[in-house]
Amino acid sequence: MKANRTLSMSKNTRAQVGIGTLIIFIAMVLVAAVAAAVLIQTSGILQQKAQQTGKQSTQEVSSNLMIKNIEGIRAKADGNATALSETIDLLKLSVGLNVGSAPVDVKQVVISITDGTVAHNLVYAGNTKTYGVWSEFDDTAADGTDNLISLLTTTDAPKKYFTVDKIRDEDSSFSQANPVMNTGDLILVYLATSSPDVSTYTYMGTMDTTTTLKSSGLRLVPRTTVNIVLTPEAGATTVAEFVTPSSYGVKETVQLYP
């Protein structure tokens, strides 16, 4: 008698497990690829930001103006130094660059000055962006004498502008139209500080303005604390603070700083 035979179907799940593993592997590869792409893009952005920040930091550290000397000039009523003003009516700042400094565009420099009562933010007379075009400015002049006279005799100009002149410019890169300072350059910066009482004076140093001087609103009498801040487009600010002498005596030109 034959034994009973039972037929059964065997299930082989090995293939399914292999497909699942392959799917997971492909998914991991895709995720890793996406993550790698994100990391590469992020690292590129961070590198650009780091380079830009480093460049800006270098400019902030290296672009430094240096005030070497400040003289004050008193206005006078005639060519002789007999009728002098009781105030300092013009400041002459001798300005250079620190060692290793990057070039500085004087057009973008802002000079803040205060006598403790009145304060002004001054821009270069050839700057057409802040206060608009100053029709009295001559950018073709070889020196700043004409611009200085215009500064002293144009209403409200002493409250808005400063002018410059070059002392040393070995590479001939500095001009009234393009006042860019390079290493080794030395310039004079003129700030009109004429008081409201100066309207009867027509001379400033050796210059005959042929018309009365205009007021800056400042009043630099003896014992006045004056604060001047030079702020370039990039770089650290330069500060000069001094107290005017207790008496000007008969001096037409007064040493103020350092």
Q: What is the pLDDT of residues 79-95, one digit of tens each?
A: 777 789 999 999 999 99
Shared-domain flag, residues 73 and 167: yes
Say how far apart CA 61 and CA 102 lie, in whole Å: 9
Q: Are residues 74 and 36 in the same domain?
A: no
User: Is 71 found in the same domain as 85?
Assistant: yes
Residues 35 and 93 in one domain: no
Q: Is the pLDDT of residue 126 over 80?
A: yes
Kindly state the helix (H) or strand (E) to which residue 46 belongs, with its residue range: helix 14-62
Type of residue found at 99: V
pLDDT surpassing 80 at residue 157: yes
Residue 92 lies in a domain: yes
Pair 78, 147 in one domain: yes
Q: What is the pLDDT of residue 133?
A: 87
Residue 228 pairs in a beta bridge with: 113, 240
**In whole angstroms, what separates CA 256 from the centre of its chain?**
24
What torsion do the CA atoms of 216, 256, 190, 59 make, to the nearest 10 degrees?
Answer: -110
Residue 251 has pLDDT above 80, yes or no: yes
Q: Which domain holds residue 38?
A: 13-62
How far from each other are the two terminal CA atoms of the chain, in whole angstroms? 129
Three-state DSSP at 87 gives coil
29 and 139 in a single domain? The answer is no
Whether residues 152 and 210 share a domain: the answer is: yes
pLDDT tens-digit map of 13-30 = 555 556 777 778 888 888
Q: Cα–Cα distance between 216 and 233 in angstroms, integer?
A: 25
Task: Indicate whether 125 belongs to any domain.
Answer: yes
Of 46, 62, 78, the domain-final residue: 62
Q: Tell me the pLDDT tens digit for each residue of 180-226.
A: 999 899 999 999 999 999 988 999 988 999 899 999 999 999 999 99
H or E stretch including 62?
helix 14-62
- Considering the domain architecture, whether residues 78 and 137 belong to the same structural domain is answered as yes
Whole-number Å distance between alpha carbons of 148 and 91:
11
Q: What percent of the chain lies above the pLDDT cut of 90?
A: 60
In a domain? residue 145: yes
Handedness of CA 149, 151, 155, 159 (dihedral sign): negative
More confidently predicted of 38 and 187: 187
Residue 160, in any domain of the structure: yes
What pLDDT shows up at residue 5?
63
What pLDDT shows up at residue 53? 65
pTM for this structure?
Answer: 0.78
Give the per-residue pLDDT at 121: 97
Q: Are residues 73 and 151 in the same domain?
A: yes
Strands laid side by side in the 110-114 sheet: 238-243, 225-231, 110-114, 119-124, 161-168, 186-192, 90-97, 65-73, 253-257
**Does any domain span residue 3?**
no
Does 39 fall in a domain? yes
Average pLDDT, the chain: 88
Give domain status of residue 4, yes or no: no
Question: What tens digit of pLDDT does each residue of 103-116 get?
Answer: 999 999 999 999 99
Same domain, 57 and 92: no
Same structural domain for residues 54 and 77? Answer: no
Q: Is 168 found in the same domain as 245?
A: yes
Number of domains the chain is built from:
2
In a domain, 246, yes or no: yes
